[in-house]
Structures are given as structure tokens and as C-alpha cells.
Structure 1
């Protein structure tokens, strides 16, 4: 268990730092650092207080430490005492409203920053426009005493990517920020990018430990390939490679008794539709007339477990913890709305705990199966995807035989499942670990930079 230290500011201008004796024992330390700022100081043991580090007002100003009662970690490397970590959460969509600085996502970020004290980190939110490259500082948004305030701080030890969508992710200005902070300043950047469904599938296909969880998935090529899959599986799902929130998902069903084709989807008005067609060509001419099929994938239909005749799938969150290890942080069932092709809440879906869906023994059995699958999939993705991943949200299904299937992996998972009152503690856990992972990355970047930046 890593120890946290309170940072106290003494009202003098001496370049002296008082530390717990155990922290100094047998060590030679010449500098103190916070984020990208450091300075030469003298170190002395503090005889009375073993849980705090005392710096002077002059040191505070020089290293731009924002005074607060947040306890921090201490890292020793190359005769430098690093206090932190200072974690920058990078996003876009800032507004000019002081009480809603990040628009409708302000509450999410406020909740995310509320874990600072328990994790032992200084986290703040910033965008491209808040960086002062000449000074090496950032005008960061901190959430303190239930209010937002901006404070100028050094460049952070680590950056957590919370860009809101693919459009912002592909913005050249934002790409430049990421590249510059990573390459010029050697700042670890975690959770970059949104996953492409086909790319994820093809990468996982190379790992024999997880292939049993993968439904057959192909890029859309021709009607004949869909006909083959329909004859094999009875139904298929067609969805965008880069879709999210269930947008653009279509289920196509073939009735071999009547030779009719059915398409279940949600139209532009948000209404769930089920339409019948005499041929696959007519179905596509009607339903996909305005859609670009080369952006679609076709996935094997799975006969899911049903609750009251409604299909159910599962959202499983995994996070890396302060030791860099994958943990299961939340599991919830999602029951499809009446006539819906997806289990999303906007389509009438309901969120339930696993215990609400299954009796005790079954709930335990299915939770274990889902957990095993999610951990194996997390490790497999970790090995194959470029960049540093700290969290994943999996959409998993269980078929009538009790087998687990992967439908999607999300690098920036939505948080709708946490509206369920019994999942509040897991909401907190996922937020804590998403910042706690920055503690691990900070330590790794200081102790083993050659591994981090190879």
C-alpha cells in the first residue's frame, strides 16, 4: 500500500523541505518536483509529523503547487522528490459559463475529480486552448469545495484522454497536442482513441485465449455473404464500424418457413420498427437507401437469454488499478425494450443487477463467466492495441447454452448503468481506478522510462 502525504505550506521563503524521517532515511535528495516543474532545495527530517511534507511559500510558488488539503504520493528517483501525481484530464467542448465549464458533461467531470483525496492525486480538466507552451503551464479547471476554479499549474505527470467523440479525436489541433506532450515532454497519455469494431475483432482473432468469445464478424461485401450467414445463423446484426449508443444497429432475420426477411431497427424519430420484405435486395433498398454500406459490419446473430421474452445482454467495466492490474469494476444486465434491436435505455431498455435477473446460484455462475471473459479480453486488447489503455466497457451476451459472446468493446464506456441505485458504489470504484491508474503510470515513467517510451 503506497503512503499518502499531506503537503503543508509554511509561510516563509526558505528553500527548505521538511519530510518524514523514514522518507529521507539513507537517501540523498537535492530537488523537489511537482508535474513538470522542479527546483533545488534542502531537505530536513520533520521530527513530529510522519504523514506530511512541509514546503515554504516560496517553493509552492516556484513549482506552482495549488495549495489544498489533498494528500499526495511521494516518488524518489535520481535525487529528486516528486510529489503527485498531477493528472491532466484532456477534453473538448468548453463553454463560457463558470458553473458549467464543460457543458452537459460538467457533472461527470465534477464527480471524476471528487476522488482526488481518496486516490492521492491532483487531477484537473483542460483543453487545447488552456496550454501555454512558452511557459510550460496549463490553466487547469479544478473542482474544489463544490465549485470550479481555474489554477495555473505545470504540465502534468500523466494525461487521461476524455475527448467526447470521434470528431474531436480527429481534430488536427488536438492530435498535435497529444503528439507534442507525448513526444517532446514524454508525458504518458492513456485511453487514447475510440475503438473501431472491425479492427478490434480482427486483433482479438489473433489471440487464441479469446477466440471462443467472438461471433463471426465481417465487413459488408455483398448480399450473398449475408445470405450465407442468414442460412447458417437465422439472423445477423448489421452495425456501423464506428457507431456508438446503439445508433444504426439493424437486425435481419430470415424465416425459412415463409422465405420472408424481417428487419428490426430504430428509425430517425426513435421509434422501434419491424418490417417484412420478400427479398434481401428489397430490404436493403428500403432500409439502407441512404446509408453507406462500406462503413458497416455484419455480425453473427446470437440467440440470447431472454427475460419475459426480451433479450438481455451485459455491460462489464474493467479498469487498471494503481498497480497496473486489470480489475472487474462493474457488471450490469441490460434488458431490451419492447421490439428494440438494442438494450440501450433510449430504446426502452432497462438496467438490472445480475442478482435481479437470475436466482442466487445462477447469478454467481454467470457473474463468474462474464468476469473471466472480460479479464481475458482486457488483457488481449492490452497486448495488441497501440497506446496505454486504462479502462474498457464490454458489451457481452450469454446465449441459451450459457456461452459468453463479445458484441463490442468501448474505450470510453458510457455510464448509464450507474443510474441504478445498487450500482452507485461501482460508479465510485470506476472513477477512483481511472485516476488511480495515473499513480502507477507516474511511477513507471519515473522508474522505467525506457519501458514506457520505447
Structure 2
């Protein structure tokens, strides 16, 4: 068995360019502080027949250094692009992963909406079609139209019914702001149909979702980003949460689109008072634990989820979206640097816990990730 516990981080790489390099640098550094050998690799870095793996670690002065590394005992999957080579590796049986493959947004929404433990928090959602959009527009004063495989707030359009027509606002694939004021439902339907055609990401479908009045701050969309993670004992723990306040007139609160992070308490207590804010926070925690339990039952072992939670103007809590490979920038932008560091440390702590559990179950076996080789 290697002298150090060995953790690989599977991610997208092209040359020396990596996805989310800042976060991954911090993840490697957190692993080193905890005494582990942590490195990045991508699907093209695995040489199964020779049982060799090329890994990458940060250089002190910037950039990345590559070299051969021991076969990882556990792999954390941070790959966010469902390309065929990645999918083949993910299902090859070569590695023991800390987190299982996830599904598309629509399937996850269907699962949660049909489970009595969590369905109370799920807004009405359907796969987009012109007919379905028209039917939901009659029923709900606010609708969101969003890609089923999108991320970062791109491709989301918000449709609001007004006394004299419909107001539409959206952020396109390049984060450009788009707005329209239309008189009739037919015009709104035509606009959205063009939007779906133009903003499709890798041929994925679009969803239509019941809109919520999240205007706790006038003319600004607000929501809550909650991070729930496994800790060093393998238990689900809410690491923290923060509120996000969108730019004026924006369809989303997303930080990529100019949103601002503020402490949960500052936003919610100001609107509802201390006592109700505490009740809302407890409900958010309860929902996070239930959602994590339901999804882990369905998909297998998971290690963290980012939940986008809506608190509407009446104080009702809604689940907007679940991300199995979440960011944690909301804590840094709030100035909660200790919480930010803990959010980075926990995936490594959980990975180390898994390695220790494997050692207990197989005390005489070399646990360097030995699997059948394809």
C-alpha cells in the first residue's frame, strides 16, 4: 500500500487548461495539508493496460506540473461534460469513485416530485413544448424556461404575466441580457420558441417551470445556495448557506451574471423577522437532508450537493435545482473564508474516510484501487 493515501480528481483537461482551475488548486492543497497525495487527471491520462496514470499538480509559481502517480485509491469526479470518452471511463470499473454518476435535470425533478418525502418543495415542472408552455402560462403568473442540461444561469428565460401583456427577461449562452415586452400569449409563445431553438446546449431539451415570486428585494431575483456535504465520518452535514441577490431586471440571481452574495440571515431576517427566519432556515436544512437521502438511494453513493432554494415573498421554501458538483463561491463572496475553506476540505476528508473504511474491510489487501483492467 502506498505510504500516503492517494486521491485522484477526475476533471476536464485540454493541454494544460483545466476546468475550474482555482478551485482544483485549493482542493489539491487541502489534500496535502491532510497528508494525502492528491492530483488531477482526465480521461486521456489513464493507461489501463500498464496500470499507469499521468497526474497534474499545481506549481508554486502558477501553471501545472505533470508526472506519473500511484493508482488512486479513491477518485473524486469533478468532470462536468458528458463526452463519450469520459462516460466510458466512468463506467469502466477501473476506479472506486467517491460520488456516483448523476442524471439530467428533468429526470431528477421527476424523481423528487414523485417522492412524498420531498414533493412538497418541488415547483411544477414539465419538458418544454409550445403546447405545454401555453398551458402553464394560463396557470402560473411566472414561468421559467431553462435548459435541462445547463449550468451557470445561461439559457434561462423568465416570463411574467402583467395586466397589459408579458415581460420576458433572459440570459443567453454568452451571458448577454435579453428582454422583451409582448402584448399577447401567442407572441410570448413565439418568442420562447425562438429562444429554445437558439439557446439549446448540446442538443438538450428545455424545461418549463412554475415561477416563484422571489422578489424579497424589489426588482431583484433572490435565492439561497445551500451546500450539504459528507464529512470525515461519512455523515451528511450542512456546511452552510448564503443568499444571492441578482442584478436589477435579471432573470436569475446567478453570481456569474452579476449577482451578489449576502449572508442568509441578513436577507431573510430583514424581510420576515428573526423568529420566522430561524424557522425558514431549519426547513432549508431539513429539505437538504431529505433530498440528499432520496437522491443517494436512487443514484448510489454521493458526496455533496448544492441546492438552489427559493424563499418566496410569503416565506414558503421551494427547491429550484440540485447540483451534484457544486461551486462554493457564495461563501467566499460573502467574506466567510473559514466556511469556504471547510467547504473545500470536506470532499478530501470524505475521500480519506472511504479509504480508511476500505482498509478496515480488507486489512491484508493492497487498496490502491485494484480493479479489472479493460
**TM-score between both structures, scaled by the size of structure 2:** 0.85
Q: Which structure carries more relative contact order (alpha carbon 8 Å, separation 6+)? A: 2
Match among 57, 69, 73 for residue 153 of structure 1? 69
Alignment partners' CA distance in 1, 2:336 and 2:233: 24
Is 1:332 the counterpart of 2:242 in the alignment?
yes
Secondary structure (helix, strand or coil) at the match of 1:134 reads coil
Map of 2:368 onto structure 1: none
How far is 1:400 from its partner?
A: 2.2
Q: Deviations over 1:371-420 (max 9, x none)?
A: 221121111111112x4311111100011222210111111113331332
Is 1:128 the counterpart of 2:43 in the alignment?
yes
Larger Rg: 1
Alignment partners' CA distance in 2, 1:157 and 1:325: 20
How far is 1:437 from its partner?
A: 1.2
Map of 2:10 onto structure 1: 90
Aligned length: 353
Q: Deviations over 1:148-168 (max 9, x none)?
A: 5444232111111111x32xx
Match among 114, 138, 146 for residue 206 of structure 1? 114
**TM-score between both structures, scaled by the size of structure 1:** 0.71
- Contact preservation (8 Å) 1:305, 1:398: no
Is 1:107 the counterpart of 2:22 in the alignment?
yes
Alignment partners' CA distance in 1, 2:293 and 2:173: 37
User: Given the superposition, is the C-alpha separation of residues 247 and 285 from structure 1 closer, same or farther in structure 2, using an over 3 Å criterion?
Assistant: same
Map of 2:296 onto structure 1: 382
1:30-429 matches, within 5 Å, as 33-34=1-2, 65=3, 84-95=4-15, 101-103=16-18, 105-143=20-58, 148-163=64-79, 165-166=80-81, 169-171=82-84, 173-180=85-92, 182=93, 185=94, 187-193=95-101, 195-223=103-131, 225-255=132-162, 257-258=163-164, 260-267=165-172, 270-289=175-194, 291-292=196-197, 295-357=205-267, 358-359=269-270, 360-385=274-299, 387-429=300-342
Alignment partners' CA distance in 1, 2:58 and 2:294: 36
Alignment partners' CA distance in 1, 2:72 and 2:239: 26
Alignment partners' CA distance in 2, 1:209 and 1:146: 50
- Contact preservation (8 Å) 1:195, 1:242: no
- Contact preservation (8 Å) 1:373, 1:404: no
Q: Which moved more, 1:149-158 or 1:369-378?
A: 149-158
Gaps of 5+ in 2: 363-370
Map of 1:43 onto structure 2: none
How far is 1:328 from its partner?
A: 0.8
Alignment partners' CA distance in 2, 1:413 and 1:213: 20
Q: Which moved more, 1:402-411 or 1:359-368?
A: 359-368
- Contact preservation (8 Å) 1:315, 1:333: yes
Alignment partners' CA distance in 2, 1:406 and 1:435: 27
User: Given the superposition, is the C-alpha separation of residues 170 and 104 from structure 1 closer, same or farther in structure 2, using an over 3 Å criterion?
Assistant: closer
